[in-house]
Amino acid sequence: MSPAVFIDALQDELQSIKYGQSPPELYDPIQYIMNLGGKRMRPLLTLMGAYLFTDDWQKAIRPALGVEVFHNFTLMHDDIMDQAPLRRGQPTVHEKWNGNVAILSGDVMLVNAYQLLLNVEADKLAPVLARFSRTAAEVCEGQQMDMNFETRWDVSEAEYIDMIRLKTSVLLGYALELGGLIGGADEEITRHLYEGGMNIGIGFQLKDDLLDVYGDPAKFGKQVGGDIIANKKTFLLIEALAQAKGSIRDELTDWLTRTEFDKPEKVRAVTAIYDQLGIRQLTEARINEYFVRGFANFDQVNADANRKTLLIQFARQLVERES
């Protein structure tokens, strides 16, 4: 079994899903955002989670896509809230149509996500949907925290980790847990899968913060330094703000409060401050810590060794990614 088989199965099913017919303003944006691509990381985790415990991993395809539709719903609504013009290099839904269309199409996507998740065996419906609903509410909590952080300069490391845990990581945890539930894993095992996915997810998001500053421009795909230019409160900036004293602090504060600046110069200067404070090493250590925790969670999962290797390798790619 190779991940390509899972990816192909997901893509085939994605093409066959009918979200709805009419009015087109409601359903065309769903097709549009679902076809913008993406790594399909979440449904892949679900299929790998199911395959740990059953040969019939195909029965996890539709629920797995429920998680993917939910994820894309959050992107559609987050893009409105963040007034983002582009998503994966293409116009966002609220730009291509309008804000009302993006609100309402997103709403119906959340319903579609539940509809896809209904495709599990009757005795699994209650845990699958109760756990999903809790996760979905947490993702909204994380997004609200992220918005609240925009106007605050005293965000603590613990608050930041909690925010990314809610906004990003719990859904990765749930995606894997869902696979376990569908595959027939017991409660203890599904908890390990959830926590493993969540820890890998926190490491994954911290890596995102790191790559934005220290990524290889040839491999990263986005503009290196984008977060610095935008004063985005990343793990790196929060750590730097917590540690900088004296003249370094003054210099950092100066760059954060300038309204006019040369972008490459600001990126170079703030990166130099991070270097002086050892922020890169600190962030790498923290990423490593979460990945180690995640792999320790997976160690607790009793399943066929070859099948587990597939999951571990996939998680390792997330660790070692450069884009």
Q: Specify the residue, 140 or 230, whose C-beta has the smaller distance to its own copies.
A: 140
Q: Specify the residue, 55 or 82, whose C-beta has the smaller distance to its own copies.
A: 82
Query: Is residue 218 part of the contact set for its own copies (CB under 8 A)?
Result: no
Least Å from the CB of residue 137 to its own copies: 5
Among 4, 15, 123, 257, binds its own copies (CB under 8 A): 123
Least Å from the CB of residue 120 to its own copies: 10
Reduced to 3 states (helix: H, G, I; strand: E, B; else coil), residue 258 is coil
Q: Specify the residue, 117 or 277, whose C-beta has the smaller distance to its own copies.
A: 117
Q: How far apart are alpha carbons 94 and 99 in whole angstroms? A: 4
Query: Is residue 20 part of the contact set for its own copies (CB under 8 A)?
Result: yes
Evaluate whether 303 touches 53 at the Cβ level (below 8 Å): yes
Among 11, 100, 276, 288, binds its own copies (CB under 8 A): 100
Angstrom distances, CA of residue 98 to CA of 25, 34, 104, 139, 195: 10, 18, 10, 24, 38
Q: Specify the residue, 94 or 207, whose C-beta has the smaller distance to its own copies.
A: 94
The phi and psi torsions of 184 (rounded to 5 degrees) equal: 100, 15
The phi and psi torsions of 92 (rounded to 5 degrees) equal: -70, 165
Among 9, 36, 104, 269, binds its own copies (CB under 8 A): 104
Angstrom distances, CA of residue 91 to CA of 84, 95, 300: 9, 6, 43
Among 7-15, 49-57, 102-110, 268-276, which window interacts with its own copies (CB under 8 A)? 102-110
Q: Specify the residue, 103 or 229, whose C-beta has the smaller distance to its own copies.
A: 103
Identify the CA nearest to 207 among candidates 238, 233, 236.
236
Residues within window 21-40 making contact with its own copies, judged by CB under 8 A: 22-23, 25-26
Query: Is residue 161 part of the contact set for its own copies (CB under 8 A)?
Result: no
Among 5, 137, 230, 296, binds its own copies (CB under 8 A): 137
Among 93, 145, 175, 198, binds its own copies (CB under 8 A): 145
Residues 6 or more apart in contact with residue 5 via CB below 8 angstroms: none
Query: Is residue 141 part of the contact set for its own copies (CB under 8 A)?
Result: yes
Among 96-104, 168-176, 183-191, 250-258, which window interacts with its own copies (CB under 8 A)? 96-104
Angstrom distances, CA of residue 63 to CA of 14, 182, 202, 282: 12, 9, 23, 38
Query: Is residue 122 part of the contact set for its own copies (CB under 8 A)?
Result: yes
Least Å from the CB of residue 266 to its own copies: 27
Among 9, 58, 114, 316, binds its own copies (CB under 8 A): 114
What residue has token string 């979440």? Answer: 42
Q: Specify the residue, 167 or 286, whose C-beta has the smaller distance to its own copies.
A: 167
Identify the CA nearest to 75 among candidates 32, 106, 112.
106
Q: How far apart are alpha carbons 190 and 188 in whole angstroms? A: 6
Least Å from the CB of residue 312 to its own copies: 32
Reduced to 3 states (helix: H, G, I; strand: E, B; else coil), residue 87 is strand
Least Å from the CB of residue 270 to its own copies: 28
Let me know if 96 is exposed, middle or buried by CB neighbors in 10 A (0-12, 13-18, 19+): middle
Identify the CA nearest to 135 among candidates 204, 51, 59, 46.
46
Evaluate whether 248 touches 274 at the Cβ level (below 8 Å): no
Interacting residues toward its own copies by CB under 8 A: 20, 22-23, 25-26, 77, 80-81, 100-101, 103-104, 106-108, 110-112, 114-115, 118, 122-123, 125-126, 129-130, 133-134, 136-137, 140-141, 143-145, 147-148
